Amino acid sequence: NAGVTQTPKFRILKIGQSMTLQCTQDMNHNYMYWYRQDPGMGLKLIYYSVGAGITDKGEVPNGYNVSRSTTEDFPLRLELAAPSQTSVYFCASSPLGDTTQYFGPGTRLLVL
Amino acid sequence: GQQLNQSPQSMFIQEGEDVSMNCTSSSIFNTWLWYKQDPGEGPVLLIALYKAGELTSNGRLTAQFGITRKDSFLNISASIPSDVGIYFCAGRGMTGGGADGLTFGKGTHLIIQP
């Protein structure tokens, strides 16, 4: 059972570089989410999507972009990496109308 | 935005002891969720609560949705070593229709001494 998968597991970026964090789910869930988790903190919502072609901002969207061209994939794009974006990024998905969110294993990002 | 206060921040207990942690909110929630996160992993759902006053168990875990809709607690009975981890409460407010994600507490770090 794959569930929610994320790649890469770990990445080091230089300030100003760009990268895409990949997220894929095989549960046919309409809702997908991106969170970031800073040390000693809970998760904060970056962006979410209620279905293919539809995305919206969460609590902390600045510096990020997303797209949702398919139900399965929800990539997160960092265009100009900054040290403040050093964090652990979690992707999650949930069925339509269900509050249970299933999380991926996370991507650890270090920006130097 | 909505705020969740989770306490305690950390707990050091002996194996076999019972554990209690709670979350309080500055606003009303219509759903409370409790997650556990192991090192290097994503959060895993333990218990979901959907009604004020609801009391739900999952094995040795019991959680309750507060009557005021502004709090929830999680109890773990007879702790064992595999209970070690970070426990997060999460809630969904009255708006958003379920699409706008969850608000998370900062977590309770549970450490068990054998």
CA distance B17 to chain A (A): 25
CA distance B99 to chain A (A): 6
Asked if A48 and B100 come within 8 Å (Cβ–Cβ), the reply is yes
Mode of pairing for the β-strands spanning B108-113 and A87-94: unpaired
Asked if residue B55 has pLDDT above 90, the reply is: yes
B56-109 pLDDT, tens digit per residue, is: 999 999 999 999 999 999 999 999 999 999 999 998 876 554 456 788 899 999
Chain B CB contacts of A44 under 8 Å are 104
Low-confidence residues of chain A: pLDDT under 70: 1, 96-99
Asked if residue B6 has pLDDT above 60, the reply is: yes
Q: Which site among B9, B36, B102, B108 would you substitute to test the A interface, given the most A Cβ atoms closer than 10 Å to its Cβ?
A: B102
Give yes or no for a contact between A107 and A9, defined as CB atoms under 8 angstroms apart: yes
Place of tokens 């054998």: B114
Return the ∠ at Cα A46 (arms to A53 and B65), rounded to 5°: 105
Residues 6+ apart with CB under 8 A from A62: none
SS3 content of chain A, % helix, strand, coil (to 5): 5, 50, 45
